[in-house]
Amino acid sequence: MSYEVKLKNRVANVELIGQEGDKILVAVDGKEYTLDFVKLSKGKYSILYRNKSFNLELIPGSNAKKYQVNTFNKSFDVEIIDAESKYLANRHKSTEDEGESVITAPIPGRVIKIMVEKGEEVEAGQTLIIISAMKMESEFKASKPGVVIDIKVSEDQSVEANQELVVLEYASEEA
């Protein structure tokens, strides 16, 4: 299992590679660590690494992906960024700004259908592209009226997470 973990301004890629009893092997940004990891009670853990002991307390935050992590003398706000979080963040990006907007793939998948052409004017809510990922089809729509500036993929193409799909230019909203 692989996750991105946001701690202050840093985002680290954390992967659980394996577990045998209390020993776990994790990789943080590609560097591997073998840890003794013991759950003491609900939300409380003891970690032993290179003969140093670390006690952690995880306190759930405002949603299931946010935690406050307390150690003996420090406290951190941590956010787990998984495929679902990336997908939701991409689908709910703020649309207040005018100018260029890039629609990206939240997770790896395959382009099923491109519903627009370069230079085409689009309306708010109009479907631009359909991606198949994790056995689901997702429609990506224009959040407000604009023009398709560029289409960076083709139908039936495999795409990676964060790959650019469609570039839009939103017109300024006049009062």
Q: Can you give the pLDDT at residue 175?
A: 43
Q: Can you give the pLDDT at residue 144?
A: 86
If DSSP codes are grouped into helix, strand and coil, which group holds residue 120?
coil
Strands 23-28 and 10-20: antiparallel
Domains of the chain by residue range: 2-81, 93-170
Return the DSSP state at 87. H
Query: Between the CA of residue 42 and those of 3, 39, 56, 100, what are the distances in Å?
Result: 22, 7, 11, 46
The answer for 21, left when phi > 0, alpha when psi is -120 to 50, beta otherwise, is: left
Determine the distance from the C-alpha atom of residue 24 to the mean position of all C-alpha atoms in its chain, rounded to a whole number. 24
Q: Confidence class of residue 96 from pLDDT cuts 50, 70 and 90?
A: very low
Q: Confidence class of residue 87 from pLDDT cuts 50, 70 and 90?
A: low
Average pLDDT over residues 102-127: 91
The residue among 45, 155, 16, 170 whose CA lies nearest residue 95 is 170
Q: Taking 50 as the threshold, does the pLDDT of residue 77 lie above it?
A: yes
Q: Can you give the pLDDT at residue 143?
A: 82
Strands 121-122 and 109-114: unpaired
Q: Taking 80 as the threshold, does the pLDDT of residue 89 lie above it?
A: no
The span from the CA of 147 to the CA of 127, in Å, is 13
Q: What is the pLDDT of residues 129-159, one digit of tens each?
A: 999 987 888 888 888 899 999 999 999 999 9
Could you count the other beta carbons within 10 Å of the beta carbon of residue 143? 19
Token duo for residue 87: 């997908």
CATH number 3.40.50.2000 is the correct assignment for the domain at 93-170: no
Q: Can you give the pLDDT at residue 118?
A: 96
Which CATH number applies to 2-81? 3.30.700.30
Average pLDDT over residues 14-28: 92
CA-based R_g, the chain, Å: 21
Highest mean pLDDT of the ranges 101-105, 106-110, 124-128: 124-128
